[in-house]
């Protein structure tokens, strides 16, 4: 048996990912424990704390159902359709209490991991595409998606409640399979239409990847490209926050969190504008 295939059968998820999912859900639940007023506004959002927490609870439930192989249509992948689906589910799910939502967020994260565990002995468990709100994914990428989604909204809740957020270098690295998978799908067609460039993005102290753009197409490789036009070195937490639309790239540059070099280093500030935050 191929070593990789054997690894997929014995290990439901890549090392550290299940623990990061469980701990992130726990961190978010801890943020919510004891919060009596969930009508507090989330900064830079139209949601309150209660609405953001309800969205997280519902999204974790959706991901758990997907991991179990259930069909759960949810928009068509465009930002507009996802926003409409979010609004519809929040309108029909009225719970806004911090304690019940904290419990549901943690319970549904566990349900997701149990669903993945049930597939662990199946040779095809990591292979079949599951239909998700952002396109087909295997369970490994879906788990990375779940973690990324929780970290983005967990960051929002931490800001709203004036508490430390839970994003760190190790968790960002576990988000990368999803980020690399989804980047072509969330590229802005107008922004990439007339662009021909080869980027390498390196996370400081961590992995790097390549992005090749030409003829309106975006190709992402999980390893750096040779002879890039522009290499971007970025602090991992800043990368995730910028990618999720939570951090201003110009501010990150001013703070020394981003460095760029190559034949066309001036293309570095343009990179985040090529994508719509998932």
**Tens digit of pLDDT for each residue in 197-213?**
999 999 999 889 999 99
Give the helix/strand (H/E) hosting 213: strand 208-214
What confidence score (pLDDT) does residue 120 get?
67
8 Å CB contact between 128 and 138:
yes
| Residue 228, CA distances (Å) to 126, 199, 209, 225, 257 in order | 32, 5, 11, 6, 20
8 Å CB contact between 231 and 260:
yes
Say how far apart CA 50 and CA 109 lie, in whole Å.
18
Buried b / exposed e over 143-181, threshold 16 CB at 10 Å, is: bbbbbbbbbbbbbbbbebbeeebbbeeebbbbbbbbbbb
Q: At what angle do helices 49-67 and 98-118 cross, to 10 degrees?
A: 20
Would the pLDDT of 95 be above 90? yes
What confidence score (pLDDT) does residue 128 get?
55
CA-closest candidate to residue 138, choices 181, 103, 91: 181
8 Å CB contact between 198 and 227:
yes
CA-closest candidate to residue 151, choices 19, 240, 235: 240
Alpha helix ranges (H) inside 93-168? 98-118, 139-160
What confidence score (pLDDT) does residue 10 get?
37
Hey, what are 189's tokens? 């067609």
Residues 6+ apart with CB under 8 A from 56: 28, 101, 105, 149, 150, 153, 154
- Per-residue confidence band for 78, with pLDDT thresholds at 50, 70 and 90: confident
What DSSP character marks residue 271? G
Find the range with the poorest average confidence among 151-155, 234-238, 253-257. Answer: 253-257
Choose between 32 and 71: higher pLDDT: 32
* Mean per-residue pLDDT, 171-184: 97
What confidence score (pLDDT) does residue 9 get?
44
pTM of the model: 0.92
Find the range with the poorest average confidence among 29-43, 78-92, 148-162, 166-180. Answer: 78-92
Would the pLDDT of 247 be above 70? yes
Mean pLDDT of the chain: 92
What confidence score (pLDDT) does residue 189 get?
95
Q: Does 184-274 carry CATH code 3.30.1050.10?
A: yes
Q: What is the largest CA-CA distance in the chain?
A: 55
Query: Could you give the percent of the chain with pLDDT greater than 90?
Result: 85
- 3-166: CATH number: 1.20.120.450
8 Å CB contact between 141 and 181:
yes
Say how far apart CA 211 and CA 189 lie, in whole Å.
15
* Mean per-residue pLDDT, 120-147: 81
What confidence score (pLDDT) does residue 7 get?
39
Domain with CATH 3.30.1050.10 in the chain: 184-274
Say how far apart CA 112 and CA 62 lie, in whole Å.
9
Would the pLDDT of 121 be above 90? no
Domain with CATH 1.20.120.450 in the chain: 3-166
What confidence score (pLDDT) does residue 165 get?
97
CA-closest candidate to residue 275, choices 224, 208, 201: 201
Would the pLDDT of 52 be above 50? yes
8 Å CB contact between 216 and 189:
yes
What confidence score (pLDDT) does residue 34 get?
94
């Amino acid at each position: 048996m191929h070593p990789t295939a054997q690894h997929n059968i014995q290990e439901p998820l890549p090392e550290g990912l299940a623990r990061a999912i469980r701990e992130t859900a726990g961190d978010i639940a801890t943020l919510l424990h004891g919060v009596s007023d969930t009508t507090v506004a989330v900064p830079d959002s139209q949601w309150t704390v209660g609405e953001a927490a309800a969205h997280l609870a519902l999204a974790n439930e959706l991901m758990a159902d997907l991991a179990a192989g259930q069909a759960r249509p949810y928009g068509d992948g465009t930002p507009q359709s996802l926003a409409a689906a979010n609004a519809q589910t929040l309108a029909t799910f009225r719970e806004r209490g911090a304690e019940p939502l904290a419990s549901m967020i943690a319970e549904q994260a566990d349900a997701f991991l149990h669903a993945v565990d049930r597939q662990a002995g199946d040779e095809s468990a990591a292979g079949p595409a599951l239909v998700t709100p952002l396109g087909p994914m295997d369970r490994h990428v879906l788990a990375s998606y779940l973690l990324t989604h929780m970290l983005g909204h967990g960051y929002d809740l931490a800001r709203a409640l004036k508490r430390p957020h839970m994003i760190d270098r190790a968790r960002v690295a576990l988000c990368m399979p999803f980020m690399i998978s989804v980047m072509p799908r969330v590229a802005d067609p107008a922004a990439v239409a007339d662009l021909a460039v080869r980027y390498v993005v390196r996370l400081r102290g961590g992995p790097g990847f390549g992005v090749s753009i030409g003829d309106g197409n975006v190709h992402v490789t999980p390893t750096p490209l040779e002879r890039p036009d522009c290499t971007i070195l970025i602090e991992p937490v800043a990368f995730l926050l910028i990618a999720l639309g939570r951090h201003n790239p110009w501010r990150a540059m001013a703070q020394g969190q981003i460095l760029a070099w190559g034949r066309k280093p001036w293309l570095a500030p343009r990179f985040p504008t090529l994508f719509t935050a998932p």
